[in-house]
Amino acid sequence: MNTSIVKIGHLSHRYSKAWAIRNISLEIIQKGVTGFLGSNGAGKSTTMNILCGVLNQTEGTVLIDGIDLRQHPLEAKKLIGFLPQNAPLYLDLTVDEYLRHCAYMRLIPDNKVKAAMEEAKERCGVAHFSKRLIKNLSGGYRQRVGIAQAIIHKPKLVVLDEPTNGLDPNQIAEVRSLIKEIGEERSVLFSSHILAEVQATCDTIRMIEQGQVVFDGSVDDFNNYIAPGALVLYLQQPPAIEELMAIPGVTAAKVIARNKIRVSFDTTPAIAEDMIKYSVERGWRLQELHLERSSLEEIFAKLSNKKK
């Protein structure tokens, strides 16, 4: 059974006067990658900082694997690995020195520290840089070291705040596949502004805007959030536009290329079926038909506007 590793209930936080997040309730499953989306200032970092026990919430509860984070912070934090937005790296330490320090901070017993370090380094692909000063690593490798410190104690939940920010496309791809790998055996929550990244990496998406949840579902649900409103038909014997316009449910029809017509429709569910039927009956010789879906950016914009 895939129960929740995180249960957030009616979480609110106020920095001074203004509320940064307001009445957020959500759950995160035990395994897999959850993307945390939202515009700048939506409240992602605030939520993640509270979730990792770095910030105390003004109101609401956070349960990590059933443990109340506020009441039992030590027990709950043992289950969490966190890479904040600015990776907490000591640039003048070598990778080994830094990870050893992190292992002690995580209370890993002395006789298990070496093995824990080796496993985290191996996992994150930094073993060959063990003796290198962190300040001499590229951005992508520094981020990997940041992720290594977040998994060194084998937490059930790994929280990564914009882990690919500032990386080049190759580094982004590498960090993404690392996140996916980690998600195979534990729960990963990561925030990002990059929609394609969230779509490619995550199993589920939570989106917040102006401190409130505006989407909570699977990547497929996200992609289908806006119901398609147009069909593109490729017809060898296309009819006159007027003939298409006369079909019940069709609101517009436009030639977009030779033999290619975009047909807009209202909420008629069987429009694709109808088109196939008419094509056969009237000899339009349908070659291809596809629904025009909204882009991720359009979906993001629509969800963002939910709170405006």
Write the DSSP string, 261-300: EEEEESS-TTHHHHHHHHHHHHT--EEEEEEEPPPHHHHH
Phi, psi angles (nearest 5°) of residue 62: -130, 120
For 2, the token pair is 């895939």
Contact flag: residue 54 with ligand ATP (CB under 6 A): no
Dist CA 126 CA 29 (whole Å): 29
Q: Is 43 left (phi over 0), alpha (psi -120 to 50) or beta?
A: left
Identity of the residue, 260 or 307, whose beta carbon is nearer to ligand ATP in the bound complex: 307
With contacts defined by CB under 6 A, name the span among 37-45, 70-78, 213-221, 289-297 that binds ligand ATP.
37-45
Dist CA 175 CA 163 (whole Å): 8
Identity of the residue, 14 or 302, whose beta carbon is nearer to ligand ATP in the bound complex: 14
Q: Which of 44, 77, 142, 186 binds ligand ATP (CB under 6 A)?
A: 44
Identity of the residue, 17 or 131, whose beta carbon is nearer to ligand ATP in the bound complex: 17
With contacts defined by CB under 6 A, name the span among 43-51, 114-122, 231-239, 282-290 that binds ligand ATP.
43-51
Total residues at the site for ligand ATP (CB under 6 A)? Answer: 11
Q: Which of 5, 28, 35, 46 binds ligand ATP (CB under 6 A)?
A: 46
With contacts defined by CB under 6 A, name the span among 36-44, 137-145, 169-177, 281-289 that binds ligand ATP.
36-44
Sign of dihedral through CA atoms 167, 169, 170, 172? positive
Q: What is the DSSP letter of 136?
A: G
Q: In angstroms, what is the minimal distance from the CB of 16 to ligand ATP? A: 6
Identity of the residue, 14 or 180, whose beta carbon is nearer to ligand ATP in the bound complex: 14
Contact flag: residue 60 with ligand ATP (CB under 6 A): no
Identity of the residue, 258 or 308, whose beta carbon is nearer to ligand ATP in the bound complex: 308
Contact flag: residue 40 with ligand ATP (CB under 6 A): yes
Identity of the residue, 21 or 79, whose beta carbon is nearer to ligand ATP in the bound complex: 21
Strand partners for 26: 8
Dist CA 142 CA 136 (whole Å): 9
Q: Which of 11, 42, 80, 151 binds ligand ATP (CB under 6 A)?
A: 42
Helix (H) or strand (E) run with residue 47 in it: helix 44-51
- In whole angstroms, what separates CA 288 from the centre of its chain? 33
Dist CA 301 CA 255 (whole Å): 28
Identity of the residue, 44 or 206, whose beta carbon is nearer to ligand ATP in the bound complex: 44
Dist CA 269 CA 94 (whole Å): 61
Q: Which of 3, 10, 25, 41 binds ligand ATP (CB under 6 A)?
A: 41
Number of helices followed by number of strands (H, E) in the chain: 11, 14
Identity of the residue, 43 or 140, whose beta carbon is nearer to ligand ATP in the bound complex: 43
Residue 278 near residue 244, CB atoms below 8 Å: no
Contact flag: residue 45 with ligand ATP (CB under 6 A): yes
With contacts defined by CB under 6 A, name the span among 38-46, 66-74, 87-95, 264-272 that binds ligand ATP.
38-46
Residues at the interface with ligand ATP (CB under 6 A):
15-16, 20, 38, 40-46
